[in-house]
Protein backbone atom coordinates (compact mmCIF):
# COMPACT_ATOMS: atom_id res chain seq x y z
CA UNK A 1 0.00 0.00 0.00
CA UNK A 2 1.20 3.50 -0.80
CA UNK A 3 1.46 6.15 1.93
CA UNK A 4 0.38 8.73 -0.66
CA UNK A 5 -3.18 9.94 -0.27
CA UNK A 6 -4.98 11.62 -3.13
CA UNK A 7 -7.64 14.32 -3.38
CA UNK A 8 -11.05 13.38 -4.78
CA UNK A 9 -10.99 12.90 -8.54
CA UNK A 10 -7.19 12.66 -8.73
CA UNK A 11 -6.16 11.26 -12.12
CA UNK A 12 -2.45 10.70 -11.53
CA UNK A 13 -2.91 6.92 -11.67
CA UNK A 14 -0.97 6.25 -8.48
CA UNK A 15 -3.83 5.46 -6.12
CA UNK A 16 -3.63 3.37 -2.99
CA UNK A 17 -6.18 0.93 -4.33
CA UNK A 18 -3.78 0.05 -7.13
CA UNK A 19 -1.31 -1.32 -4.58
CA UNK A 20 1.37 1.08 -5.82
CA UNK A 21 4.39 1.83 -3.68
CA UNK A 22 6.23 5.15 -3.48
CA UNK A 23 8.79 4.24 -6.13
CA UNK A 24 6.07 3.14 -8.56
CA UNK A 25 4.27 6.40 -7.89
CA UNK A 26 7.42 8.36 -8.74
CA UNK A 27 7.72 6.42 -11.99
CA UNK A 28 4.07 6.92 -12.92
CA UNK A 29 4.37 10.63 -12.30
CA UNK A 30 6.91 10.80 -15.09
CA UNK A 31 9.42 12.55 -12.85
CA UNK A 32 7.54 15.83 -13.12
CA UNK A 33 5.87 18.15 -10.65
CA UNK A 34 2.29 17.33 -9.77
CA UNK A 35 -0.36 18.19 -7.24
CA UNK A 36 -1.14 15.51 -4.71
CA UNK A 37 -1.89 15.05 -1.06
CA UNK A 38 0.87 13.53 1.04
CA UNK A 39 -0.04 13.20 4.69
CA UNK A 40 -1.52 16.50 5.87
CA UNK A 41 -0.47 18.66 2.95
CA UNK A 42 -1.75 19.37 -0.55
CA UNK A 43 1.04 20.47 -2.91
CA UNK A 44 -0.21 22.39 -5.91
CA UNK A 45 2.29 21.96 -8.70
CA UNK A 46 2.59 24.20 -11.73
CA UNK A 47 -0.90 23.42 -12.98
CA UNK A 48 -1.70 25.45 -16.05
CA UNK A 49 -5.31 24.40 -15.58
CA UNK A 50 -6.83 26.89 -13.14
CA UNK A 51 -9.88 24.65 -12.71
CA UNK A 52 -7.62 21.84 -11.49
CA UNK A 53 -5.97 24.16 -8.96
CA UNK A 54 -9.37 25.25 -7.74
CA UNK A 55 -10.45 21.62 -7.44
CA UNK A 56 -7.54 20.82 -5.14
CA UNK A 57 -7.91 24.04 -3.18
CA UNK A 58 -11.58 23.28 -2.68
CA UNK A 59 -10.96 19.73 -1.50
CA UNK A 60 -12.99 18.87 1.58
CA UNK A 61 -9.89 18.16 3.69
CA UNK A 62 -8.51 21.63 2.94
CA UNK A 63 -11.82 23.34 3.55
CA UNK A 64 -12.25 21.57 6.89
CA UNK A 65 -8.74 22.44 8.01
CA UNK A 66 -7.63 18.81 8.02
CA UNK A 67 -5.05 19.49 5.32
CA UNK A 68 -2.93 22.45 4.33
CA UNK A 69 -1.95 23.49 0.83
CA UNK A 70 1.08 25.11 -0.68
CA UNK A 71 2.04 25.98 -4.24
CA UNK A 72 5.22 25.09 -6.10
CA UNK A 73 5.96 27.09 -9.25
CA UNK A 74 8.68 25.41 -11.28
CA UNK A 75 10.63 26.48 -14.37
CA UNK A 76 13.64 25.05 -16.15
CA UNK A 77 15.66 25.33 -19.35
CA UNK A 78 14.92 29.00 -19.95
CA UNK A 79 18.17 29.15 -21.96
CA UNK A 80 18.48 32.93 -21.92
CA UNK A 81 15.33 33.51 -23.96
CA UNK A 82 14.83 37.13 -22.94
CA UNK A 83 11.88 37.94 -25.18
CA UNK A 84 8.60 36.37 -26.22
CA UNK A 85 9.26 34.14 -29.22
CA UNK A 86 7.68 31.57 -31.52
CA UNK A 87 7.19 28.11 -30.03
CA UNK A 88 6.10 24.99 -31.90
CA UNK A 89 2.88 23.20 -30.88
CA UNK A 90 0.70 20.44 -32.31
CA UNK A 91 -3.05 21.13 -32.26
CA UNK A 92 -5.58 18.76 -33.81
CA UNK A 93 -2.73 16.97 -35.54
CA UNK A 94 -1.42 20.14 -37.19
CA UNK A 95 1.72 22.16 -36.41
CA UNK A 96 1.14 25.68 -35.14
CA UNK A 97 3.41 28.40 -33.79
CA UNK A 98 2.47 30.57 -30.84
CA UNK A 99 4.17 33.45 -29.09
CA UNK A 100 5.46 32.21 -25.75
CA UNK A 101 8.10 32.89 -23.13
CA UNK A 102 10.24 35.88 -22.25
CA UNK A 103 11.21 37.12 -18.81
CA UNK A 104 8.48 39.77 -18.76
CA UNK A 105 5.79 37.15 -19.30
CA UNK A 106 7.44 34.82 -16.80
CA UNK A 107 7.58 37.44 -14.06
CA UNK A 108 3.95 38.41 -14.64
CA UNK A 109 2.84 34.78 -14.40
CA UNK A 110 4.87 34.14 -11.25
CA UNK A 111 3.63 37.34 -9.60
CA UNK A 112 0.01 36.51 -10.47
CA UNK A 113 0.17 32.94 -9.16
CA UNK A 114 2.19 33.85 -6.08
CA UNK A 115 -0.31 36.58 -5.19
CA UNK A 116 -2.97 33.89 -4.68
CA UNK A 117 -1.09 32.63 -1.61
CA UNK A 118 2.18 34.53 -1.17
CA UNK A 119 3.10 33.06 2.22
CA UNK A 120 2.79 29.48 0.99
CA UNK A 121 4.30 29.61 -2.50
CA UNK A 122 7.77 28.31 -3.43
CA UNK A 123 9.35 29.30 -6.78
CA UNK A 124 12.05 26.96 -8.14
CA UNK A 125 14.23 26.82 -11.25
CA UNK A 126 15.81 23.58 -12.46
CA UNK A 127 18.75 25.00 -14.39
CA UNK A 128 20.09 26.00 -17.81
CA UNK A 129 19.56 29.75 -17.69
CA UNK A 130 22.98 31.11 -18.74
CA UNK A 131 23.27 29.66 -22.25
CA UNK A 132 21.20 29.94 -25.41
CA UNK A 133 21.09 33.64 -26.26
CA UNK A 134 23.48 36.30 -27.52
CA UNK A 135 23.16 38.61 -24.52
CA UNK A 136 23.99 35.77 -22.15
CA UNK A 137 26.96 34.66 -24.25
CA UNK A 138 28.45 38.15 -24.56
CA UNK A 139 28.12 38.73 -20.81
CA UNK A 140 29.13 35.17 -19.86
CA UNK A 141 25.84 34.80 -18.05
CA UNK A 142 26.03 37.96 -15.96
CA UNK A 143 23.15 39.69 -17.76
CA UNK A 144 20.78 36.90 -16.74
CA UNK A 145 21.38 37.24 -13.00
CA UNK A 146 19.31 40.42 -12.36
CA UNK A 147 16.47 39.03 -14.47
CA UNK A 148 16.30 35.85 -12.40
CA UNK A 149 16.39 37.95 -9.25
CA UNK A 150 13.49 40.07 -10.51
CA UNK A 151 11.38 36.95 -11.03
CA UNK A 152 11.97 36.16 -7.38
CA UNK A 153 13.10 32.55 -7.18
CA UNK A 154 13.46 30.87 -3.81
CA UNK A 155 15.62 27.99 -5.00
CA UNK A 156 17.75 27.20 -8.07
CA UNK A 157 19.67 24.17 -9.31
CA UNK A 158 22.57 24.54 -11.76
CA UNK A 159 22.04 22.71 -15.05
CA UNK A 160 24.58 21.17 -17.39
CA UNK A 161 24.96 24.46 -19.31
CA UNK A 162 25.72 26.53 -16.22
CA UNK A 163 29.35 25.40 -16.65
CA UNK A 164 29.65 26.70 -20.22
CA UNK A 165 31.75 29.77 -19.28
CA UNK A 166 33.94 27.84 -16.85
CA UNK A 167 33.83 27.15 -13.15
CA UNK A 168 34.90 30.63 -12.03
CA UNK A 169 32.17 32.37 -14.03
CA UNK A 170 29.60 29.82 -12.88
CA UNK A 171 30.42 30.59 -9.26
CA UNK A 172 30.25 34.35 -9.88
CA UNK A 173 26.96 34.16 -11.77
CA UNK A 174 25.21 31.79 -9.39
CA UNK A 175 26.71 33.74 -6.50
CA UNK A 176 24.72 36.74 -7.74
CA UNK A 177 21.44 34.91 -7.33
CA UNK A 178 19.37 35.96 -4.35
CA UNK A 179 17.84 32.48 -4.35
CA UNK A 180 19.31 29.53 -2.48
CA UNK A 181 21.42 27.12 -4.56
CA UNK A 182 21.62 23.35 -4.16
CA UNK A 183 23.45 20.48 -5.84
CA UNK A 184 24.53 17.25 -4.15
CA UNK A 185 26.73 15.88 -6.94
CA UNK A 186 29.02 18.71 -8.08
CA UNK A 187 32.36 18.60 -6.28
CA UNK A 188 35.51 20.69 -6.29
CA UNK A 189 37.90 18.58 -8.37
CA UNK A 190 41.00 17.88 -6.30
CA UNK A 191 43.08 18.00 -9.47
CA UNK A 192 41.93 21.49 -10.41
CA UNK A 193 43.79 21.49 -13.72
CA UNK A 194 42.31 18.17 -14.84
CA UNK A 195 39.93 18.78 -17.75
CA UNK A 196 39.78 15.33 -19.32
CA UNK A 197 36.62 13.37 -20.02
CA UNK A 198 37.65 10.30 -18.01
CA UNK A 199 35.92 11.17 -14.75
CA UNK A 200 34.10 8.21 -13.29
CA UNK A 201 30.62 9.24 -12.05
CA UNK A 202 30.60 6.02 -10.02
CA UNK A 203 33.75 6.98 -8.12
CA UNK A 204 33.59 7.29 -4.37
CA UNK A 205 32.53 10.63 -2.97
CA UNK A 206 35.47 12.72 -1.86
CA UNK A 207 36.35 16.35 -1.42
CA UNK A 208 34.03 19.30 -0.95
CA UNK A 209 30.66 19.97 -2.54
CA UNK A 210 30.46 23.21 -4.52
CA UNK A 211 26.91 23.94 -3.38
CA UNK A 212 24.82 22.90 -0.38
CA UNK A 213 23.24 19.50 -1.11
CA UNK A 214 19.76 20.38 0.12
CA UNK A 215 17.47 23.19 1.21
CA UNK A 216 14.56 23.23 3.64
CA UNK A 217 11.71 25.64 4.19
CA UNK A 218 8.41 25.78 6.03
CA UNK A 219 5.23 26.42 4.07
CA UNK A 220 1.67 26.09 5.32
CA UNK A 221 3.14 25.09 8.67
CA UNK A 222 4.87 22.07 7.12
CA UNK A 223 8.63 21.59 6.75
CA UNK A 224 9.68 20.41 3.30
CA UNK A 225 13.10 19.61 1.87
CA UNK A 226 14.70 19.67 -1.58
CA UNK A 227 17.80 17.76 -2.75
CA UNK A 228 19.47 18.81 -6.01
CA UNK A 229 21.27 16.83 -8.72
CA UNK A 230 22.87 17.96 -11.97
CA UNK A 231 23.54 15.58 -14.87
CA UNK A 232 26.51 13.37 -13.93
CA UNK A 233 27.26 12.97 -17.65
CA UNK A 234 27.86 16.71 -18.16
CA UNK A 235 31.62 16.35 -18.94
CA UNK A 236 30.81 13.70 -21.56
CA UNK A 237 27.81 15.42 -23.17
CA UNK A 238 29.68 18.63 -23.92
CA UNK A 239 33.27 19.80 -23.99
CA UNK A 240 35.02 18.64 -20.81
CA UNK A 241 36.89 21.96 -20.88
CA UNK A 242 33.72 23.61 -19.56
CA UNK A 243 33.89 21.50 -16.41
CA UNK A 244 37.53 22.04 -15.45
CA UNK A 245 37.81 21.86 -11.68
CA UNK A 246 34.42 20.15 -11.23
CA UNK A 247 33.70 16.51 -10.56
CA UNK A 248 30.22 15.05 -11.12
CA UNK A 249 28.92 11.91 -9.41
CA UNK A 250 25.76 9.84 -9.74
CA UNK A 251 22.80 10.66 -7.46
CA UNK A 252 22.46 7.11 -6.15
CA UNK A 253 25.80 7.45 -4.36
CA UNK A 254 24.38 9.78 -1.71
CA UNK A 255 20.67 10.41 -2.31
CA UNK A 256 19.51 7.80 0.23
CA UNK A 257 21.66 9.41 2.91
CA UNK A 258 20.23 12.87 2.26
CA UNK A 259 16.64 11.62 2.12
CA UNK A 260 17.15 9.92 5.46
CA UNK A 261 18.80 13.07 6.86
CA UNK A 262 15.88 15.25 5.79
CA UNK A 263 13.30 12.80 7.11
CA UNK A 264 14.91 11.87 10.42
CA UNK A 265 17.12 14.81 11.41
CA UNK A 266 15.44 17.77 9.71
CA UNK A 267 11.99 16.25 10.34
CA UNK A 268 10.72 17.12 6.85
CA UNK A 269 7.18 15.98 6.12
CA UNK A 270 7.89 15.96 2.38
CA UNK A 271 11.10 15.48 0.39
CA UNK A 272 11.53 16.53 -3.24
CA UNK A 273 14.36 15.85 -5.67
CA UNK A 274 15.22 18.65 -8.11
CA UNK A 275 17.13 17.07 -10.98
CA UNK A 276 18.62 18.33 -14.24
CA UNK A 277 19.26 14.95 -15.83
CA UNK A 278 16.74 14.48 -18.62
CA UNK A 279 13.54 12.47 -18.62
CA UNK A 280 15.14 9.07 -19.28
CA UNK A 281 17.69 9.34 -16.47
CA UNK A 282 15.07 10.73 -14.11
CA UNK A 283 12.66 7.86 -14.73
CA UNK A 284 15.58 5.47 -14.19
CA UNK A 285 16.40 7.22 -10.92
CA UNK A 286 12.78 6.96 -9.82
CA UNK A 287 13.03 3.17 -10.18
CA UNK A 288 16.05 2.87 -7.89
CA UNK A 289 15.62 1.79 -4.26
CA UNK A 290 17.91 4.63 -3.17
CA UNK A 291 15.11 7.16 -3.75
CA UNK A 292 12.66 5.44 -1.42
CA UNK A 293 11.43 8.14 0.92
CA UNK A 294 11.32 10.88 -1.73
CA UNK A 295 7.86 12.14 -2.63
CA UNK A 296 8.42 13.73 -6.03
CA UNK A 297 11.06 14.41 -8.68
CA UNK A 298 11.05 17.84 -10.31
CA UNK A 299 12.91 17.13 -13.54
CA UNK A 300 14.58 19.20 -16.25
CA UNK A 301 16.88 19.12 -19.29
CA UNK A 302 15.14 17.33 -22.18
CA UNK A 303 12.78 20.17 -23.16
CA UNK A 304 9.95 17.69 -23.67
CA UNK A 305 6.41 18.93 -23.21
CA UNK A 306 4.69 16.49 -20.89
CA UNK A 307 1.17 17.77 -20.35
CA UNK A 308 0.09 15.38 -17.63
CA UNK A 309 2.12 14.00 -14.70
Does some domain include residue 51? Answer: yes
pLDDT of 234 reads 95
pLDDT value of position 62: 63
Given this model, what pLDDT does residue 171 score? 97
pLDDT value, residue 177: 97
Q: What is the pLDDT of residue 31?
A: 38
What is the end-to-end Cα distance of the chain in Å, rounded? 20
In a domain, 78, yes or no: yes
The pLDDT assigned to 50 comes to 62
pLDDT in the model for residue 207 = 79
Is the residue at 203 inside a domain?
A: yes
State which H helix or E strand residue 61 sits in: helix 60-63
CATH of residue 145's domain is 3.60.21.10
* Cβ atoms of 284 and 297 closer than 8 Å: no
Dihedral sign for Cα atoms in the order 197, 203, 206, 208: positive
Query: Domain range spanning residue 293?
Result: 16-300
pTM for the structure as a whole:
0.80
How many structural domains does the chain have?
Answer: 1
Structural domain includes residue 1: no
HEC string for 122-173:
EEEECCCCCCCCHHHHHCCCCCHHHHHHHHCCCEECCCHHHHCCCHHHHHHH
As averages over each run of 10 residues, the pLDDT of the chain (309 residues) reads 41 42 50 34 48 62 71 94 90 91 94 95 96 94 97 97 96 97 93 55 74 97 96 93 94 97 97 95 94 94 72
What's residue 257's pLDDT? 97
CA 177 – CA 213 distance, rounded (Å): 17
Q: What pLDDT does residue 304 have?
A: 74
User: Under a CB-based contact definition with an 8 Å cutoff, are residues 42 and 65 in contact?
Assistant: no
Task: Report d(CA 257, CA 260) in Å as an integer.
Answer: 5
**Does residue 8 belong to any structural domain of this protein?**
no
* DSSP H or E run through 90: strand 85-91
Amino acid sequence: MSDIQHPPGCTCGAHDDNGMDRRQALRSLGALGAGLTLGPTVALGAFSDSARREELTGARAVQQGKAQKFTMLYTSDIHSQLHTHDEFFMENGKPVYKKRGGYGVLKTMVDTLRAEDPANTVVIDGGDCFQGGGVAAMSEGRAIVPLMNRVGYDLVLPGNWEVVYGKENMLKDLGGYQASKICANMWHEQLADFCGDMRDPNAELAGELIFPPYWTTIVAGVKIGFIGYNDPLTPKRQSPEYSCGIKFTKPELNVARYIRHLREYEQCAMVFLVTHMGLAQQVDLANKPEVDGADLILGADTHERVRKP
